[in-house]
Amino acid sequence: MFELLSSVIDAASATPSPSPSPGFDPTTVTPGWVGFLITFGIALLTVALIIDMTRRVRRVRYRSEVQEMLDAEDAADTKP
């Protein structure tokens, strides 16, 4: 049993670790300017959508508050 375990350990240590190829060029694996511009555009679009949705939610909330005030005035007018 010990011989089998030692042969497995020897086989694992005998295999060489992979090394990068000598012609590795880091510019071929980076997104570059195109990737930056696309990411920047998505970020700007996200910010614009958040601002637009904040305005819409605020507008709906203000309209409901005004409607409640008008309903309260109508209820006060109908009471003698």
**Is residue 66 assigned to a domain?**
yes
**Is residue 40 assigned to a domain?**
yes
Given a cut of 70, the residues of the chain with pLDDT beneath it are 1-2, 4-5, 8-21, 24, 26-27, 79-80
Domain, as residue range, for 41: 32-80
Split into its structural domains, the chain has a count of: 1
**Is residue 2 assigned to a domain?**
no
| Cα–Cα distance, 39 to 31 (Å, whole number) | 10
- DSSP for residue 26: G
> In the chain, which residue ranges form alpha helices assigned H by DSSP?
2-14, 32-78
Rounded to 5 degrees, φ, ψ at 29 are -110, 0
pTM score, two decimals? 0.54
**Is residue 47 assigned to a domain?**
yes
